[in-house]
Amino acid sequence: MVRLKKITMLIGGVAMAALLAACGNIGSSTGGGTTGTTTNQSGVQTTGQISKSEYAGVIKNGHYLTSNARGLTASTINNSFNLNSFEGGLLNISKQFYNPANYVFQEGQYLSSSTLRSWLGRKSKNNPEGLNPKDNGKKDNSRKPIYVQSIEEQDFMQKNGDNLSLKGITIGIAMNTVDYYQKEQYGATFQQSISKTAMQEYGNQVAEQVVQRLRKTHGISSDLPIVVAMYVQSQTDNLAGGTFYANTQTKTASIDKWNKLDIVNKVFPLIGASSKDFASNDSKSFQNFQSQVQNFFPTVADVTAQAQYQDEKIQGEHVTITTQFYSQTEISSFTNFVAQVAPKFLPSGVPVDITINSANGIQAFLSRDSNDRNFQSHIFTSY
């Protein structure tokens, strides 16, 4: 019923590009207030916090409490870039509503795989709960597209004696602007575009329905804060994931008002963009960096980046360099060189990460937090 997309259940995460973390999460482990990780094998503990900006997670009966819909998002979302940006971005949105200092993160427990699979399907006699439109039998652009691609639940808990109580939920809804479909099984893949307006209108209705259904779910009170975050997938051939375009929090069974988000991902070097593009200066700086690095070795290195903008201001950059190394000393020298060049050309005041790969995988990486001038580096080696 639900059309499962191509990517493997085993989470892609990094894929070929091994792109680096958005949130500058190199943080010293502070131990945090919540420790847990005790030897007590029954009841509930937490993983502990690695820093005050990261959630502790829930350990139950000695194991991590995995999602009741474990792997569903990985099996429904279009590619590993979307998977990364949807799941990672959703957690960042949650942090704005539920402070990691006061809340414990729990993988979604209220919506099961089977519930979500029926919600993500088309509405039909056999699937009255389907959130996608009824099949009108058409096989061309007059068909009704699949608007809703994936739904993910996150729970936020607080300590209540020896137990944890549910204090908030976040629901991420991943929408399509392009629906990929086959006219016949194993046939060619066709694309059906969905206008931004149509997607948003449909998404708002879906969000209302999801909130109403959650209010009727056992264990979820009528005034529990529910955050809903609307995400639009990027197209499958894009080298960056999609973005969140709206969010809201409700303590009732309906949604009053949406916060619009103006978030855009760019891939550098920009191809064919006008000089009026708000990212064009950053792209030019990136191209200067690229030309410094590209010809370091006799063989040319591949140098690309993802940048994220909110309200047309850059939020961070993930740079990926892939080249051929012939010795450990070449890796050291190249990493040194990149650390010298990067501060001159890459954006300052925002987190920047650089992964250095060979055909055999990651060899080194560098990163800089928003407040630093210099890059930290790490070269992967072994005894």
- Three-state secondary-structure class, residue 214: helix
Beta-sheet pairing, 178-182 with 189-193: antiparallel
Question: Using the rule CB under 8 A, which residue among 336, 348, 349, 370 binds its own copies?
Answer: 336
C-beta of 220 vs 362, nearer to its own copies: 362
Using CB under 8 A as the binding rule, the residues of this chain from 276 to 295 that contact its own copies are 292, 295
Question: Using the rule CB under 8 A, which residue among 3, 5, 60, 71 binds its own copies?
Answer: 71
Using CB under 8 A as the binding rule, the residues of this chain from 14 to 33 that contact its own copies are 14-15, 17-23, 25-31
User: Residues binding its own copies: what is the number (CB under 8 A)?
Assistant: 105
Please, which residues have CB within 8 angstroms of residue 168's CB and are 6 or more apart in sequence? 97, 98, 103, 155, 156, 224, 225, 226, 227
Interface stretch with its own copies, choices 156-164, 223-231, 244-252, 367-375 (CB under 8 A): 367-375
C-beta of 246 vs 307, nearer to its own copies: 307
Both tokens of 258, joined, read: 């949406």
Residue 261 touching its own copies (CB under 8 A): no
Nearest approach, Cβ of residue 328 and its own copies (Å): 4
Residue 181 touching its own copies (CB under 8 A): no
356 C-beta neighbours (distance < 10 Å), count: 26
51 C-beta neighbours (distance < 10 Å), count: 14
C-beta of 118 vs 234, nearer to its own copies: 234
C-beta of 41 vs 160, nearer to its own copies: 41
- Three-state secondary-structure class, residue 91: helix
Residues 312, 313, 314: CA angle, nearest 5 degrees:
120
Question: Using the rule CB under 8 A, which residue among 2, 67, 145, 211 binds its own copies?
Answer: 67
Residue 49 touching its own copies (CB under 8 A): yes
Q: 140-147: list long-range contacts, CB under 8 Å, 24+ apart.
A: 141/192, 143/181, 143/192, 145/176, 145/179, 145/181, 145/192, 145/194, 146/3, 146/122, 146/176, 146/179, 146/181, 147/175, 147/176, 147/179, 147/194, 147/198, 147/199, 147/202, 147/203, 147/206
Nearest approach, Cβ of residue 294 and its own copies (Å): 11
C-beta of 250 vs 265, nearer to its own copies: 265
Measured between alpha carbons, how far is 331 from 382 in angstroms, rounded to an integer? 13
Interface stretch with its own copies, choices 174-182, 187-195, 225-233, 331-339 (CB under 8 A): 331-339
Between 83 and 122, how does the x/- string for binding to its own copies read (CB under 8 A)? xxx-xx--x-------------x-x---------------
Measured between alpha carbons, how far is 7 from 15 in angstroms, rounded to an integer? 11
Residue 188 touching its own copies (CB under 8 A): no
Hey, CA dihedral for 335, 340, 345, 350, is it positive or negative? Answer: positive
Nearest approach, Cβ of residue 141 and its own copies (Å): 31
122 C-beta neighbours (distance < 10 Å), count: 18
Residue 48 touching its own copies (CB under 8 A): yes
Residue 61 touching its own copies (CB under 8 A): no
Between 142 and 161, how does the x/- string for binding to its own copies read (CB under 8 A)? ----------x-x-------
Residue 57 touching its own copies (CB under 8 A): yes
Peptide bond into 100 cis (omega under 30): no
Measured between alpha carbons, how far is 320 from 313 in angstroms, rounded to an integer? 21
C-beta of 255 vs 342, nearer to its own copies: 342
Interface stretch with its own copies, choices 177-185, 205-213, 221-229, 327-335 (CB under 8 A): 327-335
Question: Using the rule CB under 8 A, which residue among 306, 321, 346, 351 binds its own copies?
Answer: 306
C-beta of 208 vs 372, nearer to its own copies: 372
Contact between 172 and 144 under an 8 Å Cβ cutoff? The reply is no
Residue 35 touching its own copies (CB under 8 A): yes
